[in-house]
Structure 1
């Protein structure tokens, strides 16, 4: 199998999320991966390290999240001067099953991949839109 580029890995993230799975699966992550969420709410981790711990946390988090992701809109992937790094901008649309509620939020992700695996993922989220959509 050919080595996945950062753009390939982002596309896989999208497919996983729309299929109801954790967006980042264990096979996508380098052993020493770092995930940062600089604007995470108080009490939530802003930095996580290590494939096994992150993959487990993402699976648990996805299972506990009461929403169904429906589509990615306005996706723009910017390549950078560094071939390991892309910046992805997108709007993610979701629904809360059984409530009729739908909402969307904007995201910016900086993804660094090496040897076909994600080594660093930094995600900026529109937290106000997320809270409005699920509350």
Structure 2
């Protein structure tokens, strides 16, 4: 089944793919020149990833570090730009290495053009999952 193309539906689909730990399918939702930004990234962490290849490399090991169980009640807000949505949500799960629970609040600003994610600004608190020497994807900092 093809992915939905409307921003809100595509975003909901992307959450399902993350819960299913299907990172290749999640990355496939991105435009080749898509941009993933982390405005609150701590020093030494990437603040901006440019292009689908960089995003794929960053997310490749996500399920090895974060075991997501749910995104309860995401709230998706339309903006005056029909291609851009603002999402309020929680991610609930556990940190794989320690087994510690994860319950994090996010706000994301996402732009979808021609059925692909072109821009994703992820306002999350990385201090909630900091582990010495690694970030949540397992990439060395």
Per-residue deviation, 1:23:
8.6
Greater helix fraction, Structure 1 or Structure 2: 1
Q: Provide the residue aligned with 1:73 in structure 2.
A: 72
Match of 1:125 in 2: 124
Determine if contact 1:36/1:47 at 8 Å carries over to the other structure.
yes
2-side partners of 1:131 and 1:71: how far apart?
20
Structure 1 match to 2:15: 14
Tell whether the 8 Å contact from 1:37 to 1:45 is kept in structure 2 after alignment. yes
Q: Which residue of 1 aligns with 2:84?
A: 85
Secondary structure, counterpart of 1:74 in structure 2: coil
Alignment partner, residue 5 of structure 1:
6
Change (3 A) 1:49 1:95: same
Counterpart Cα distance in 2 of 1:78 and 1:17: 20
Give distance in 2, aligned partners of 1:82 and 1:44. 30
What SS does the corresponding residue of 1:25 show, helix, strand or coil? helix
Instruction: With the length of structure 1 as denominator, give the TM-score of the two structures.
Output: 0.83
